[in-house]
Every structure is written in structure tokens, then in C-alpha cells.
């Protein structure tokens, strides 16, 4: 007697499905899952199209206006290049714009009395820029952090008023800020001299930005005037950063410190400041980078004077490239400026970094 073979319908479907998968694998070159979809097909393909469509303009913009200028500046730093001279067939390099290797950087290390004028101006501008940055950063942080803590301690309805009040200068044009402060420090009709004259009861004329003999603790008063203008404009930026960080500090830690008998100053010093260490690091790095790149205030308020006492590296780069047509030398200064900012940022990150978070 022959036993009939009964096939399970589920087994048929499984066998059929398996055979179909094997067939699709052979058709797609042996790839699993029936072969991968095409790069721009299906849901993932549509997502890739969207990402490429959104990112392509930004990538193109960064490549044309950021990456290529940086590469071009690095290349020019090794040439004695001027746009007035006829160079070689490759983007004007070579010929009358010869390759000089590291000579531009070597001249920067020349501290002899016979060094050229551009080298003297570079040394002076480097000193001025370092002095400007190392005064601006601590003063800015010393003002904005306590001010942010004070604003957060007042009534909630008044906080937006103070935030907007201190942030408005950030939105103001740097040229407008320079003109305004230039009027304040004007020796003839300036508001500062007018105020001093009213207090003293007699006319007082002080050349704040034009007298090279005026110094305070070895810092030219003209440079201090630019520092005041810069801090006034940049104050609101760090203030908003610190306010956001203060709002993220756990309230339980403050309450625990108050219960333990901490006074407001002790609460700020031993609780708030340590918890804001990562934010202080961020603000100090951003302020340092910004301070090294200031150009508008120096150009409009003092134009590098008096006697090059406010000649910053940014101003030296501009004049070397576009006034004296020493673009190779100017590019070398730009590379040095980048290395200085990069090195100082690494040092700040190492000194202010923390191994814990809250």
C-alpha cells in the first residue's frame, strides 16, 4: 500500500521563498537580501538625495571661499609674490615671483639691528596683538561671568531687558562702533575730554589715540582705547553663553551649598565657577580667536598709530598685501597667525579641561 505524501502549505511557501531569494541573489551578483538597492533608489536613496542637496551648496561655498584661500595662502608663503609682477604660467608663480622656500619665515626670526622695515613692523605688530589679546580675554571673562550671575539672580521679568541691553552692541557694525568710540576719545570735541573738563572746571585736551607718550602700566593708551571699544562690543556674546550655562547648573547643588552655610560669594566661587569650567574654556578660546582677528577697530580708530603702537597683525597683513604688494610676506604672516591661535587654543584646552561633567 502506497502512503500518500502530504505536503505542508507553509513548507511550500518557505521553499518557494528560498528559491526566489537564491534566484534574486544570482541576478544581483550574489549579494544578500536580494541585492542592494541602487544608491539613489528607495527610501534611503531619497534621504541621500536630500542630504546631498542640502549640503552641496555649503560644501561648495566652504571649498571656494575657505579651503582654497587657505591653501593659496600657504603656497604664497613660500614665494616672493606680488600681483604687480609677471610670474610663471602656473597662477603667476615662478619667474618674477620666485620660490624662496622658508626665507619669509626665517626673516621673522631676525632680531638684529639691521633687519628690514617689514620685519620690524612684524615684530611690533606681533607684540601689539599678543598684548591686546592677553588683556582682552581675562578682562572680558572677569566682567561677563559675574555679570551673567547677577542677571540670573534678579527678578525673572527683568532678565530679558538686561540680556537685550547688553547684547545689542554685538549686533552693531564694527565700523559704527569704531566711529562712536573714536568720537568719545576725540581730543578736541570728544565726550571723554568734555566730561573731564566739566569735572575739573577747565578745558582739558588729552590726545587719547594720537599721543605716543601716553602709557598705562607699559600699555599705550591708544591700545587701551581700542581694547575698551572691543570689550564694549563683544561683552554680550560671552554674556549670553554664560547665562545659558548658568541655567543648566543643577539647582540642587546650589541649595545644598546654601544649606551648608555658603554665602553668595562662596557659592559663586566654589560651586558656580567650577561647574562652568567647560563653558569658561569655550568662551576663552572664542574670545582669543576673535581678539587675534580684530581689524575694523584698529583700522578706523587709530589706523595703526600713533607710531605703530596699535599696528596689529591683521592690519600688518592687510597693508603688506594690498598697500605694499608683498603678498608672499603677508601670506607668511597669516600662516604664523594661524599657528599662534592654534597653539594658544591647545594650551587653553589643556589648562581648563576637566574630566567630569554634571
Residue 5 pLDDT > 70: no
For residue 306, cis peptide bond before it (omega within 30 degrees of 0): yes
Residue 28 pLDDT > 60: no
Residue 232 pLDDT > 70: yes
For residues 162-188, give the mean pLDDT.
Answer: 91
Cβ atoms of 77 and 334 within 8 Å: the answer is yes
Tell me what pLDDT residue 135 has.
95
Residues 349 and 277: their CA atoms lie apart, in Å, by 11
Is beta strand 93-95 parallel, antiparallel or unpaired with respect to 87-90? antiparallel
Highest average pLDDT, of 84-88, 154-158, 253-257, 284-288, comes from 284-288
Tell me what pLDDT residue 355 has.
60
Q: Which three cell numbers stand for residue 122?
A: 612684524
Tell me what pLDDT residue 294 has.
93
Taking CA atoms, 344 is separated from 9, 40, 76, 234, 270, in Å, by 74, 45, 24, 20, 27
Residue 226 pLDDT > 80: yes
The CATH code for residues 117-352 is 1.10.3720.10
Tell me what pLDDT residue 52 has.
84
Strand partners of residue 215: 220
For all residues of the chain together, what is the average pLDDT? Answer: 84
Tell me what pLDDT residue 126 has.
95
For residues 44-66, give the mean pLDDT.
Answer: 85
**Gyration radius from the chain CA atoms:** 32
Cβ atoms of 123 and 217 within 8 Å: the answer is no
Residue 290 pLDDT > 50: yes
With cell 554664560, the residue in question is 242
For residues 291 and 264, the model is more confident at 291
Tell me what pLDDT residue 6 has.
42
HEC profile of 225-248: HHHHHHHHHHHHHHHHHHHHHHHH
58-117 tens-digit pLDDT: 888 888 988 998 999 999 999 999 888 888 888 888 888 999 999 999 999 999 988 999
- Residue 292's contacts (CB-CB under 8 Å, 6 or more residues apart) are 129, 133, 313, 314, 337, 340, 341
Percentage of residues of the chain with pLDDT beyond 90:
47
Weakest mean pLDDT among 7-21, 98-112, 176-190, 238-252? 7-21
Report residue 15's pLDDT band, with 50, 70 and 90 as the boundaries: very low
Weakest mean pLDDT among 6-10, 293-297, 350-354? 6-10
Tell me what pLDDT residue 37 has.
52
Weakest mean pLDDT among 81-85, 237-241, 334-338? 81-85
Tell me what pLDDT residue 356 has.
55
Residue 7 pLDDT > 50: no
179-194 tens-digit pLDDT: 999 999 998 888 999 9
Q: Which three cell numbers stand for residue 310?
A: 596699535
Report residue 256's pLDDT band, with 50, 70 and 90 as the boundaries: confident
Q: Which three cell numbers stand for residue 334?
A: 597669516
Is beta strand 93-95 parallel, antiparallel or unpaired with respect to 219-220? unpaired
For residues 10-30, give the mean pLDDT.
Answer: 45
Tell me what pLDDT residue 224 has.
95
Q: Which three cell numbers stand for residue 106?
A: 626665517
Provide CATH 1.10.3720.10 ranges for the chain.
117-352
Number of other CB atoms surrounding residue 44 within 10 Å: 13
Percentage of residues of the chain with pLDDT beyond 70:
87
Weakest mean pLDDT among 36-50, 145-159, 211-225? 36-50
End-to-end CA distance of the chain: 81
Amino acid at each position: 500500500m502506497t502512503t500518500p505524501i502530504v505536503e505542508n502549505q507553509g513548507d511550500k511557501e518557505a521553499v518557494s521563498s528560498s528559491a526566489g531569494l537564491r534566484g534574486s541573489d544570482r541576478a544581483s551578483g550574489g549579494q544578500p537580501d536580494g541585492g542592494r538597492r541602487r544608491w539613489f533608489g528607495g527610501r534611503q536613496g531619497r534621504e541621500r538625495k536630500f542630504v546631498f542637496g542640502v549640503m552641496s551648496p555649503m560644501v561648495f561655498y566652504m571649498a571656494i571661499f575657505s579651503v582654497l584661500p587657505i591653501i593659496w595662502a600657504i603656497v604664497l608663503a613660500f614665494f616672493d609674490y606680488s600681483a604687480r609682477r609677471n610670474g610663471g604660467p602656473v597662477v603667476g608663480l615662478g619667474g618674477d615671483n620666485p620660490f624662496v622656500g622658508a626665507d619669509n619665515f626665517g626673516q621673522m626670526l631676525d632680531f638684529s639691528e639691521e633687519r628690514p622695515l617689514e620685519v620690524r613692523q612684524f615684530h611690533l605688530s606681533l607684540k601689539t596683538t599678543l598684548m591686546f589679546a592677553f588683556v582682552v580675554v581675562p578682562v572680558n571673562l572677569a566682567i561677563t561671568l559675574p555679570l551673567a550671575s547677577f542677571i540670573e539672580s534678579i527678578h525673572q521679568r527683568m532678565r530679558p531687558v538686561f540680556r537685550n541691553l547688553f547684547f545689542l552692541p554685538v549686533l552693531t557694525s564694527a565700523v559704527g562702533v569704531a566711529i562712536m568710540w573714536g568720537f568719545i576719545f576725540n581730543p578736541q570735541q570728544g565726550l571723554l575730554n568734555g566730561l573731564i573738563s566739566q569735572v575739573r572746571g577747565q578745558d582739558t585736551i588729552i590726545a587719547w589715540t594720537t599721543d605716543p607718550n601716553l602709557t598705562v602700566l607699559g600699555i599705550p593708551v591708544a591700545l587701551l582705547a581700542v581694547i575698551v571699544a572691543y570689550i564694549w562690543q563683544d561683552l554680550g556674546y560671552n554674556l549670553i553663553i554664560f547665562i545659558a550655562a548658568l541655567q543648566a547648573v543643577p539647582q540642587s547643588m546650589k541649595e545644598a551649598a546654601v544649606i551648608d552655610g555658603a554665602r553668595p560669594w562662596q557659592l559663586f566661587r566654589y560651586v558656580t565657577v567650577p561647574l562652568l569650567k567647560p563653558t569658561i574654556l569655550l568662551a576663552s578660546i572664542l574670545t582669543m580667536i576673535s581678539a587675534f582677528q580684530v581689524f575694523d577697530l584698529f583700522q578706523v580708530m587709530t589706523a595703526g598709530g600713533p607710531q605703530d603702537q596699535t599696528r596689529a597683525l591683521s592690519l600688518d597683513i592687510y597693508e603688506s598685501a594690498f598697500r605694499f604688494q608683498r603678498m608672499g610676506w603677508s601670506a607668511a604672516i597669516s600662516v604664523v597667525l594661524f599657528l599662534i591661535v592654534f597653539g594658544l587654543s591647545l594650551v587653553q584646552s589643556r589648562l581648563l579641561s576637566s574630566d567630569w561633567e554634571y
